[in-house]
Amino acid sequence: RRFPSQSRKTLHRETVDRALKMMSSEQLKAFRVEEEPASLRAAYGDTPFGRGCLAARRLIEVGVRCVEVALNGWDTHVSNHKGTATQTKILDPAFATLIRDLREHDLLDSTVVLCTGEFGRTPKINPAGGRDHWPTGFSLALAGGGIRGGQVIGETPSDGSPTPEGSVSVDDLYATLLAAMGIDPGKSTITPIGRPIKLSEGTPLRQLLPS
């Protein structure tokens, strides 16, 4: 009330209204993963990440357009092999079951699935048995949304070279994701403060998209 012009510029009222609408939405029922069969919950894994992936499928099913499920604990500067083994026991069953579950609910073709971290780990083990930060190259997995699977694109050299072979830029990755969702990566939008921003500066990877 004291600063109406600033409120309009920051979309404060709209943000509050959307938050209140979300809090009373029927879509919140998607988080009731206990309603799913015990066998399916077991397949995802009795972990926060497994339950999160199951909730993700349920959220997609009721029309939520974007869902993120996080799994922390990959910062393995010490005892990398032990830490990675622990993490993959959580990640692998949940991720595999999510893909299968989306397909069985006829949702995979209309849902783009991205599994990635923030960057890679050094190709060599440090004195503490760990792997350090390696932003020059990292791996990710794509599925759904018409993505042409069964391909391996790019390779991190085993000799520790900082230049991956056949690497894909982050810009090109996001251009590919946008194209898979039927969105023109080169489209520009105008922010609430009037600033034009292009959705992506990259080029879609045609080998991953439907011909």
The proportion of the chain whose per-residue pLDDT surpasses 70, expressed as a percent, equals 96
Q: How far apart are CA 36 and CA 44, in angstroms?
A: 11
Predicted pLDDT at 188: 94
35 close to 60: Cβ distance less than 8 angstroms: no
Closest CA to 161 of 139, 132, 134, 126: 134
pLDDT of 82-132, one tens digit each? 999 999 999 999 999 999 999 999 999 999 999 999 888 988 899 999 999
The proportion of the chain whose per-residue pLDDT surpasses 90, expressed as a percent, equals 71
Q: How far apart are CA 143 and CA 150, in angstroms?
A: 10
Structure-token pair, residue 167:
């690497």
Q: How far apart are CA 94 and CA 43, in angstroms?
A: 7
**What are the strands, taking DSSP E only, across the chain?**
112-116, 120-121, 133-134, 140-144, 188-190, 196-198
Give the residue with greater pLDDT, 71 vs 26: 71
pLDDT of 120-150, one tens digit each? 898 889 999 999 998 888 899 999 999 999 9
Q: What is the pTM of this model?
A: 0.86
Assess whether pLDDT exceeds 80 at residue 182: yes
Give the sign of the dihedral formed by CA 89, CA 90, CA 92, CA 98.
positive
Phi/psi zone of residue 73: left (φ > 0), alpha (ψ -120 to 50 degrees), beta? left
